[in-house]
Amino acid sequence: MGDFTHQVRYFTQRDQWASPKGYALAFTGLLYLFTLVGMSFASTDNHLRCPEGMVLIPAGFFLRGSNYGDSDEQPESHIWLPAYCIDQFEVTNFQFQLFKPSHRYPPGMEDHPVTNITWYEAEAYTRWVGKRLPTEAEWEKAARGEDGRLYPWGNRYAPNNANINHEEAGGTTPVGASPLDVSPYHVYDLVGNVSEWVADWYDAYPGSEIVNIDFGKKYKVIRGGNWKGDFDCDGRMSYRNFARPEDRYDIIGFRGVADPLLVTKEDR
């Protein structure tokens, strides 16, 4: 802003403002200043709010994919997303049973993530509560933040931070029971507990040259690790998995996303 202000002042003081260059520069500088003022008022008088149980992921860029992971994670690229809200925790058995009363689960597991549901059931539930399934990009940004970290907590190899690698003697835990398995936005259970359905069909990223017979509208993408998973693969937040949308697994659940609400100063 200082450069614009200085140059506008220079042309005014030197009586050169009336030249085409002066007009153009002055107009650009004023437009820039008005934009900053408008943004300041917007941030002062308005703010975005999420429905209860959700957290805000602010608009901006993040690093998607990895040039060092599997071929379907490449190429890594900076993606811009508008602001959105995402469930802080995975959808639980109790919540899903409100939507589908025939859903059954073992006693005492009402606050565990729902599993053994198809992609279609997950998508229907999110619509029922006024949400939708996250896109792959939305899920990954919520998990990695904006700095391209490997895991929600950073780049440190720490499988004990999450409910993962417990295939022989394990199972789901209550959502949020692993307090270190949390992203910069306070989204929980991304490395462990259950993997999650997302909205996208499994396909190559833009700019990728790889050919894979599994690409296309055959499989839905699954993101995140689970209690049976391998931390070295599933634990990385750029890792991609997939399954047929009609299939059910005891390691796959989901969470929803929604658009944030704009709250003005008058609404507070």
Whichever domain contains 254, its CATH number is 3.90.1580.10
Residues 104 and 19 placed together within one structural domain of the fold: no
- Do 53 and 38 fall within a single domain? no
On whether both 101 and 196 belong to a single domain, the answer is: yes
What is the model's pLDDT at position 96? Answer: 98
113: in domain: yes
Q: Measured between alpha carbons, how far apart are the two ends of the chain, in Å?
A: 32
pLDDT score, position 15: 42
Q: Domain check: are 17 and 114 in the same one?
A: no
Whether the CB-CB separation of 53 and 87 falls below 8 Å is answered with: yes
Per-residue pLDDT at 167: 74
Exposure of 113 by Cβ count < 10 A (0-12 exposed, 13-18 middle, 19+ buried)? buried
Q: Are residues 29 and 62 in the same domain?
A: no
Strands 77-81 and 60-64: antiparallel
* 52 and 41 inside one domain: no
Whole-number pLDDT of residue 265: 63
Sign of the four-CA dihedral 229, 202, 221, 180: positive
| pLDDT score at 202 | 98
> Could you tell me the residue range of the domain that residue 71 belongs to?
47-262
CA angle 136, 86, 107 (to 5 degrees): 100
Residues 34 and 51 in one domain: no
**AA letter at 144:** R
Question: Is residue 232 in some structural domain?
Answer: yes
The pLDDT of residue 266: 62
Residue in this structure with the two tokens 């820039």, named with its chain if needed: 32
Whether residue 61 sits in one domain with residue 21: no
Contact 81, 138 (CB under 8 A): yes
Query: Same domain, yes or no, for 134 and 169?
Result: yes
Same domain, 31 and 63: no
Q: Are 54 and 20 within one domain?
A: no
Q: Give the model's pLDDT for residue 267.
A: 62
267 is a domain residue:
no
Residue 268 domain-assigned? no
Q: Would you give the DSSP letter of residue 120?
A: H
Angle at 229 between CA 232 and CA 153, to 5 degrees: 55
Task: Give kind and range of the element (H or E) at residue 98.
Answer: helix 93-99
Q: Is residue 51 part of a domain?
A: yes
Please list the ranges in the chain whose pLDDT falls under 70: 1-46, 168-169, 265-268
Would you state the pLDDT for residue 264? 72
